[in-house]
Structure 1
Amino acid sequence: MLRAAAVAGFILVLISAAVVGSLWLQGAYNEAPVADQPECDLLAGPCDWQTEAGHWQADLKILGDQGQGAEYQLSIRAPLAPERFLAVLRGESMYMGEYPVPLRQIEPGRYSAKFTAPLCTTGSRMVWRIDLQKGQQPMFKTPPLRLVFQAQDHRDG
């Protein structure tokens, strides 16, 4: 009888832990999903937004293609100067991992990085998203814009 009560108590504790853990995770990740944010196509022109800290701008240019995929230059104007400023490349139309790209300061408030987006079997139909981070943490609790671009691929002719 005591053994049955101990087993029932143990099962009750496990179920409670699962429910509490589930609620905690929902609360931790229940902020506005990135997909709900307005989209800005970086290759169509600069993306601008305002935060409490000031004016931000992101711009993306295609530098060329040396046969390994298009090389891009990302330029960011930012009112803040995080110590480790990263642009993290993530597949928007297909998950292909995360590719951190360190941004280097060109002058106060201006940052830049060159990168090549990984090639994908979907070619130029691949849409990438760029998320700004300070080290391992997102730059914004709720991103004001989804910074996206459609990959350019020399194989598409």
Structure 2
Amino acid sequence: MVRAAIVTGLLVGLGLLAVGFQWFSNGTPAAKLPECNLLAGACDWQEDAGNWQVTLTPEGEGVQGTEYRLTVTAPAAPSRFLAVLRGESMYMGEYPVPLQKLGPGSYGAVFTAPFCTTGASMVWRIDLQSGQEKLGNVPHALVFQADK
């Protein structure tokens, strides 16, 4: 009887630990932010330092699938400016995309989104980061659907 209670307690504890780890490792859940579909148009917002705008355009088929051009217009960028792809419809890991300076206040990159082998489409979220830290000024969940 005691052994069964200990095993049950351990299983419940491990389950809670896994849920807690997932919650804290992602920071604030993106589901609480309003979604902005990057393939439907630019996502922009205002802050004290100036205007931000994020655009995503398909560039055509590359060797590994559809290539996308991400462009971020920002009043000032962090020293290690990254866009990190995270699976929104299914967890598939995290894919950092370094943003290069294109001009004054403009940063960008071309990337291919990984695709899921079990389905034809995948919804991705793009988090803007300064190194390992997610930027706190983005008021939207920046999302797009990548199709195979």
Give the TM-score of the pair, scaled to structure 1.
Answer: 0.74
Matched residue, 2:124? 128
Matched residue, 1:152? 147
Distance 2:77 2:67 in 1: 25
Query: Which structure's CA Rg is the greater one?
Result: 1
Structure 2: runs of 5+ lacking an equivalent: 1-16
1:91 counterpart (87, 91, 111): 87
Aligned residues: 128
Aligned Cα root-mean-square deviation (Å): 2.4
Identity among equivalent pairs (%):
59
Amino acid at match of 2:143: V
1:52 aligns with 2:40: no
Matched residue, 2:96? 100
Change (3 A) 1:34 1:108: same
Is residue 42–residue 147 contact of structure 1 (8 Å, CA) maintained in 2? yes
Moved over 4 A (4+): none
Q: Which moved more, 1:104-113 or 1:31-40?
A: 31-40
Give the TM-score of the pair, scaled to structure 2.
Answer: 0.78
Amino acid at match of 2:142: L
Larger fraction in helix: 1
Change (3 A) 1:107 1:35: same
Matched residue, 2:60? 64
Structure 1: runs of 5+ lacking an equivalent: 1-21
SS at match of 1:95: coil
Distance 2:34 2:110 in 1: 25
